[in-house]
Amino acid sequence: MGSLPPRIRRSRIFAAAARGSSGSGNKVCGMSSERLYFRQLLSGRDYAVGDPIATQMRNFAYLIGDQETGECLVVDPAYAAGDLVDIAEGDGLRLTGVLATHHHPDHVGGTMLGFTLGGVRELLEKTSVPVHINAQELSWVANVTGIAPSELTGHEHGDKVSVGAFDIELLHTPGHTPGSQCFLFDDRLIAGDTLFVDGCGRTDFPGGDSDEMFRSLRYLAELSGDPVVYPGHWYSQEPYAPLSTVRDKNYVLRPKTLDEWHMFMPS
Q: Which domain holds residue 47?
A: 36-264
pLDDT at 34: 87
**Mean pLDDT (whole number) for 161-179:** 97
β-pair type (60-66, 71-75): antiparallel
State pTM to two decimals: 0.88
CATH of the domain at 111: 3.60.15.10
Number of domains present in the structure of the chain: 1
Burial of 254 (0-12, 13-18, 19+ CB in 10 A): exposed
**For residue 7, is it within any domain?**
no
**For residue 55, is it within any domain?**
yes
Please measure the distance between the N-terminal and C-terminal CA atoms of the chain and give it in whole angstroms: 18
Distance between CA atoms of residues 70 and 96, nearest Å: 9
| More confident site: 22 or 168 | 168
133, 100 contact by CB (below 8 A): yes
**For residue 84, is it within any domain?**
yes
pLDDT at 114: 83
**For residue 24, is it within any domain?**
no
For the chain, the average pLDDT equals 89
Given a cut of 60, whether residue 24 has pLDDT beyond it is: no
**For residue 105, is it within any domain?**
yes
Q: Percentage of residues in the chain with pLDDT exceeding 70? A: 87
**For residue 257, is it within any domain?**
yes
Beta bridge partners of 242: 228
Distance between CA atoms of residues 166 and 60, nearest Å: 21
DSSP 34: T
pLDDT band at 30 (very low <50, low <70, confident <90, very high): very low
Given a cut of 70, whether residue 201 has pLDDT beyond it is: yes
Comparing C-alpha atoms, which of 265, 150, 148 is closest to residue 213? 265
